[in-house]
Amino acid sequence: MDSFWNINNENNRFASLDGDIQADVCVIGGGLTGLTTAYYLSKEGKKVVVLEKDVICSGTSGGTTGKVTSQHGLIYKYLKDSNGKEFARKYYEANEKAIKDIEKIINEEKIECDFEKKKAYVYTESKNEIQNIKNEVEVTNKLDIDSKFVDKIDLPLEIFGAIQFQNQAQFNPVKYANGLVKSLLKNGVAIYEKSKAMDVLEDDEEYTVTTINGSVNAKYVVIATRYPIITFPGYYFLKMYQSTSYALIVDTNTDLQTDGYYINSETPQISLRTVKDGDKNLLLIVGYDYKTGSEIIGNPFDYLFARVKRMFPKAEIVKYWTAEDCISLDKIPYIGDFSNVLDNVYVATGFNKWGMTSSNISANIITDKIMGRENEYEEIFRSSRLEIIKNKDEAINMLKESVDGIVVKRIKGKPTPTCTHLGCKLSWNQLEETWDCPCHGSRYTKRGFVIESPAVSNLEID
């Protein structure tokens, strides 16, 4: 399902890789992380190749809300409690810097992507949640974050309160990606679409990234797929899971004007923002998240539309789609060295649905690493950290899910289909007619073609 952003995606225009080529850096993944990393590295004079398995910005970056923000739900109290005040402040600074860096790229490269400054809100319609909002306000004030408690927002909702962040932004992510692509081509970056990276093979001095019809030899490899395509080492399948969200664009048939964008703090969570469509503001609503591969209760699109209708009775659906994201166990992205035993291979994943600023932070950290520079935020996102076990409930759930899938396979002999990643039994997604893996979130079409990693091989279905 194409997203609203992708309706006019003009980037489906690159040939697939055919033959063996050489580069300084091979970036795997043509979403915002991969493109921004290629952008910074090409400005440093590196010869960069980007491999995209489908078309540019067709994956998670093409299905996002496009919120460019340092307000990641109610995260700052959690970060302060789990990692300390200084850590929480640095996380904020890294994301604030990313907002500025994205704006700088947009200005310098003259990218028309409907970039708008907005306030960000986390609100609640539940009396039980209000204390959590107030606690977050207290913590953000102590961290010197430009934030405050408000009791009203620009949506027809009865709220108990909200936390507001100033000077955040939103844009159209695919238009931004298109602008980045134009700059990459000017800087000599080679882009290949329909070129799925199958493996990364280590040689003495460099790596060979293989695709079906060719390969890229490079000293540095950046794995900027949503989910890393290498399973061992790295072991990211033990450190995060995938979550599917549902998205609707609606015409509210009102003169929709808001000073900000919104997400609620209770479950089920919904995220809302305006979207420019010519002279009109449409409304984007995203939510009804569930762990990919688990049973979907009810119809998420119906649920979201009912939520919209409560606010805007004359609303009409314009477009709908689903989006998949990687969720890290400690709510912090993994950015930097892919593994301690694999030099010059870098990763950016586990963005927890906050991929716009995270993509820019990743690009900066990885570029600095390749250029041999220190980055002041590197330690916050260190991908080889082991402290993730702090979130014990999630760790136990994940292990249980993985083991359940493998056990089913062993008990029942050879049920089909089983996932080509690590062999878990797949579940049938009736809504989208796909096979989904409950272990680490790979997805396949009903004919068995991989549409979501970490699996790279198709199913064998008769």
Q: Which single residue is written with the structure tokens 């929480």?
A: 88
Cα 400 from chain centroid? Answer: 24
| CA distance linking residue 453 with residue 199, whole number of Å | 13
Interaction of residue 240 with ligand FES, rule CB under 6 A = no
CB-nearer residue toward ligand FES: 307 or 421? 421
Closest CB 419 distance from ligand FES, rounded Å: 3
Closest CB 460 distance from ligand FES, rounded Å: 15
Contact 104/110 with Cβ under 8 angstroms? Answer: no
Closest CB 29 distance from ligand FES, rounded Å: 17
| CA distance linking residue 122 with residue 75, whole number of Å | 11
DSSP code, position 189 = -
Closest CB 441 distance from ligand FES, rounded Å: 6
Convert residues 414-433 into a mask of x (bound to ligand FES by CB under 6 A) and - (unbound).
Answer: -----x-xxxx---------
Closest CB 238 distance from ligand FES, rounded Å: 11
Closest CB 225 distance from ligand FES, rounded Å: 13
Stretch that binds ligand FES, among 67-75, 82-90, 142-150, 440-448 (CB under 6 A): 440-448
CB-nearer residue toward ligand FES: 174 or 437? 437
DSSP code, position 458 = P
| CA distance linking residue 75 with residue 88, whole number of Å | 9
Interaction of residue 442 with ligand FES, rule CB under 6 A = yes
Stretch that binds ligand FES, among 93-101, 205-213, 377-385, 434-442 (CB under 6 A): 434-442
Q: 400: burial class by Cβ within 10 Å (0-12, 13-18, 19+)?
A: exposed
Residue 251 corresponds to which tokens in the numbers above? 């015409």
Sorted by sequence, the CB contacts under 8 Å of residue 272 that are 6+ apart come out as 155, 261, 262, 263, 283, 284, 285, 286
> Please, which of residues 124-153 interact with ligand FES by CB under 6 A?
none
Among 73, 440, 456, 459, binds ligand FES (CB under 6 A): 440
Closest CB 198 distance from ligand FES, rounded Å: 16
Closest CB 284 distance from ligand FES, rounded Å: 28
Interaction of residue 437 with ligand FES, rule CB under 6 A = yes
Contact 39/25 with Cβ under 8 angstroms? Answer: no
Among 14, 121, 237, 435, binds ligand FES (CB under 6 A): 237
Q: Which helix (H) or strand (E) holds 170?
A: strand 161-170
CB-nearer residue toward ligand FES: 114 or 432? 432
Number of residues that bind ligand FES (CB under 6 A): 13
| CA distance linking residue 26 with residue 449, whole number of Å | 24
CB-nearer residue toward ligand FES: 192 or 241? 241
CB-nearer residue toward ligand FES: 119 or 425? 425
CB-nearer residue toward ligand FES: 237 or 346? 237
Interaction of residue 454 with ligand FES, rule CB under 6 A = yes
CB-nearer residue toward ligand FES: 68 or 419? 419
Residue 2 corresponds to which tokens in the numbers above? 């194409």
Residue 231 corresponds to which tokens in the numbers above? 């399973």
> Three-class SS of residue 245?
strand
CA distances (Å), origin 104, targets 91, 101, 235: 20, 5, 35
CA distances (Å), origin 46, targets 49, 120, 170, 185: 10, 37, 30, 13
Interaction of residue 455 with ligand FES, rule CB under 6 A = yes
Among 41, 439, 450, 451, binds ligand FES (CB under 6 A): 439
Stretch that binds ligand FES, among 110-118, 202-210, 283-291, 438-446 (CB under 6 A): 438-446
Closest CB 402 distance from ligand FES, rounded Å: 7
Stretch that binds ligand FES, among 96-104, 364-372, 408-416, 436-444 (CB under 6 A): 436-444
Single out the residue of 88, 153, 66, 118 nearest to residue 357, CA to CA. Answer: 66
CB-nearer residue toward ligand FES: 42 or 442? 442
Sorted by sequence, the CB contacts under 8 Å of residue 284 that are 6+ apart come out as 4, 65, 247, 248, 249, 271, 272, 273, 274, 275
State the residues that interact with ligand FES by CB under 6 A: 237, 419, 421-424, 437, 439-442, 454-455
